[in-house]
A and B are shown apart, each in its own frame.
Chain A
């Protein structure tokens, strides 16, 4: 009745799409890293190690890579700390309209990412809320330079990633059997102890999934540094975009993409090695 051949027919469209738009492109990209760059937009299929050599020896690229990993890790860490509280609050509150708090976390997903990002210009910019208020109060004489800094980029990334983190932690808190906490309390734990010994450890899978997701998405971002950062705050995604769309150096662009892919894949592999995929699936499917 559940014929495997029928199953293959059902998954065929998705499979074809994944093969031709995901797997093959990445494979072709990997081959492209060995192509020879001649001039903007032109390359020869003569195989060479020049791109890899350039990437491995040029400090310019290493700087970008380290900065991207640092910004990604910092963003993920701040997301973890700031995101845990709302997740815990929503889980533990006796507020009747809990669904409203959850809905408010989903609403940002519906609002265009570009709009959410440029909105920060109204907060941090020279004509933004903070500067205009401080100037009016006479606390500062000249507008503070907050926009087009690394801080602004991290702020924008936090804004984009916090809902992911909160929902991930919430999903894992929701799966905790609440009688465990009552049990701990009735055995004489203080609420702080019960939290530390029971709730926190049991919610760690969600936190870890959230951290991975935030790190990967932050390290792969393109729009946020573009809109909120200066040229110095560009991340690896911007470097890739400029190499391909600006310099039209396709082999180098492919090399950089593969590097980012391998590094993020490495972190994801470490994660799945210890945690498995199921938590990520739960977090994404919300």
Chain B
């Protein structure tokens, strides 16, 4: 801890680091704050200055059927994506951590690729592939695409947690006569719950937010929330978009935050129960 104290030069450098850090945080949040503030602007235009406080853009948003339809579409896609990706990611991570098999290294590299290859390329690739076999763009295809995009994150998160769980627990259960499935369900899964929840939440937001790839994959006439926003932005930046943005921020920040808090209080409760038992 003495590394940065003790001389004026060091103190100056430390202060500068602090100031730059503050600036970076302001840089990260200033535009978002501006959008939230402007969503309450009474003005007809989507920009500054503020002319008064009003909820009317929210009211107008509530009546916009296109937006509501897109919201519903995105919600369903994200829910299915989160569920399926978590299931697939869980078993994949389990196999990658606990088993030895030929091609394991290759597979663990392959599984992160969707996070590293730009979405434009993934988007075009899948589109060309289905065109080559004369298939139309469908909703299930879009969902499978989202699962592909979210898979690396779920696998990495679960893998990181699984490495920390000692194999002995699992083996003890097996030697006491549990089946593989039982030991997974009774031992491994409960220990993995935090990672599973975190992975599912991340998969949900990845799908709910996805823009570039969805532009390529969505069936004709289907809009997801981000593509709907993009097409609204083509006209102009209206106050309604600011209101929409604010609602989206509340949803996508709120869900993981509430999830995290619930998870934390759950584990606290469990700990208290255990203390009472002993």
Chain A contact residues, CB within 8 Å of chain B? 1-4, 6-8, 10-11, 13-15, 17-18, 21-26, 28-29, 32, 82-83, 85-86, 88-90, 92, 94, 104-105, 107-116, 118-123, 125-129, 132, 158-159, 162-163, 166, 178, 181-182, 184-185, 190-192, 194-195, 199, 213, 216-217, 219-223, 226-227, 237, 240-241, 244-245, 250, 253-254, 257, 260-261, 264, 268, 277, 280-281, 284-285
Contacts of A199 in B (CB 8 A): 3
Which residue of B3, B25, B117, B252 is within 8 Å of A195 (Cβ)? Answer: B3
Which residue of A122, A192, A240 is within 8 Å of B48 (Cβ)? Answer: A122
Question: Given A250-B128, A250-B131, does the pair A111, B32 have CB atoms closer than 8 Å?
Answer: yes
Contacts of B129 in A (CB 8 A): 24-25, 28-29
Taken together as a complex, chains A and B put the C-alpha atoms of A127 and B131 apart, in Å, by 44
Taken together as a complex, chains A and B put the C-alpha atoms of A221 and B118 apart, in Å, by 7
* A191/B3 in contact, CB under 8 A: yes
Contacts of A92 in B (CB 8 A): 3-4, 14, 17
Closest CB in chain B relative to A142 CB, distance in Å = 16
Which residue of A7, A89, A178, A244 is within 8 Å of B101 (Cβ)? Answer: A7
Can you show 25 pairs from A to B with CB atoms below 8 A apart?
A4-B100, A14-B91, A14-B107, A23-B110, A25-B125, A85-B20, A85-B21, A85-B24, A89-B18, A111-B252, A112-B248, A115-B35, A118-B237, A122-B38, A122-B47, A192-B9, A221-B118, A222-B211, A227-B230, A240-B120, A244-B124, A245-B216, A253-B124, A260-B118, A285-B159
Contacts of B45 in A (CB 8 A): 127
Is B268 among interface residues, defined by CB-CB distance under 8 A?
Answer: no
* B118/A217 in contact, CB under 8 A: yes
* A17/B88 in contact, CB under 8 A: yes
Is B197 among interface residues, defined by CB-CB distance under 8 A?
Answer: no
Taken together as a complex, chains A and B put the C-alpha atoms of A27 and B89 apart, in Å, by 24
Contacts of A21 in B (CB 8 A): 122, 126, 144-145, 148
Closest CB in chain B relative to A230 CB, distance in Å = 14
* A222/B120 in contact, CB under 8 A: yes
Number of B residues near A (Cβ < 8 Å) is 104
Question: Which residue of chain A has its CB nearest to the CB of B125?
Answer: A25
Most buried by B among A110, A163, A222: A110
Taken together as a complex, chains A and B put the C-alpha atoms of A22 and B216 apart, in Å, by 15
Of all A-B residue pairs in the complex, the 3 with the closest CB atoms, nearest first, are A220-B118, A127-B47, A25-B125
* B233/A11 in contact, CB under 8 A: no
Contacts of B35 in A (CB 8 A): 115, 118-119, 122
Question: Which residue of chain A has its CB nearest to the CB of B105?
Answer: A277
Which residue of A108, A121, A191 is within 8 Å of B6 (Cβ)? Answer: A191
Taken together as a complex, chains A and B put the C-alpha atoms of A184 and B17 apart, in Å, by 21
* B113/A223 in contact, CB under 8 A: no
Q: Is the interface of B mostly helix, strand, loop or mixed?
A: helix
Contacts of B194 in A (CB 8 A): none
Taken together as a complex, chains A and B put the C-alpha atoms of A177 and B128 apart, in Å, by 49
Is B222 among interface residues, defined by CB-CB distance under 8 A?
Answer: no
Contacts of B101 in A (CB 8 A): 4, 7-8
Chain B contact residues, CB within 8 Å of chain A? 1-7, 9-10, 13-14, 16-18, 20-21, 24-25, 27-32, 34-35, 38, 45-49, 88-89, 91-92, 94-96, 98-102, 104, 107, 109-122, 124-129, 131-132, 144-145, 147-148, 151-153, 155-157, 159-160, 171, 174, 180, 202, 205, 208-209, 211-212, 215-216, 225-226, 229-230, 233, 237, 241, 245, 248-249, 252-253, 256
Contacts of B226 in A (CB 8 A): 112-114
Question: Given A113-B226, A237-B120, does the pair A223, B211 have CB atoms closer than 8 Å?
Answer: yes
Which residue of B28, B127, B151, B252 is within 8 Å of A163 (Cβ)? Answer: B28
Question: Given A85-B24, A128-B48, does the pair A280, B112 have CB atoms closer than 8 Å?
Answer: yes
Which residue of A22, A105, A185, A217 is within 8 Å of B122 (Cβ)? Answer: A22
Taken together as a complex, chains A and B put the C-alpha atoms of A260 and B9 apart, in Å, by 46
* B31/A114 in contact, CB under 8 A: no
* B128/A32 in contact, CB under 8 A: yes
Apart from A22-B117, A216-B116, 17 more pairs, CB < 8 Å: A2-B100, A11-B91, A21-B148, A22-B122, A25-B122, A85-B20, A111-B253, A114-B209, A115-B35, A115-B229, A118-B241, A120-B31, A159-B31, A162-B24, A217-B118, A264-B117, A285-B160
Taken together as a complex, chains A and B put the C-alpha atoms of A222 and B213 apart, in Å, by 10
Closest CB in chain A relative to B265 CB, distance in Å = 16
Closest CB in chain B relative to A164 CB, distance in Å = 11
Contacts of B118 in A (CB 8 A): 216-217, 219-221, 237, 260, 264
